[in-house]
Amino acid sequence: MSLKVLGAIAVALVVGGALMISAPRSAQALPAYAAETGKACGACHQNPAGGGPRNALGEAFAANGHKLPAKK
């Protein structure tokens, strides 16, 4: 193989690897948060079973560093 072909392969591998590392991943609900807070997963999610989009409490929980916001 010529140096041009090897160089093109190396560049493709580096670019492909960089894209794989930087690609966004979907967020995953963590049952550990429910165990830590003592609340059901549905307390922070629109779905009562948990997972999926967050409700207002879930958004506040995420914005507060995954700690329950202080009661007002």
Sketch the domain layout of the chain as residue ranges. 3-63
pTM for the whole structure: 0.55
Q: What is the pLDDT of residue 50?
A: 83
Q: Which residues contact 44 (CB under 8 A, 6 or more apart)?
A: 33, 50, 54, 55, 57, 58, 61
DSSP β-bridge partners for residue 45:
54
Which pair of structure tokens corresponds to residue 19? 């894209």
State pLDDT tens for residues 20-56. 787 766 555 578 888 888 999 999 999 988 888 999 9
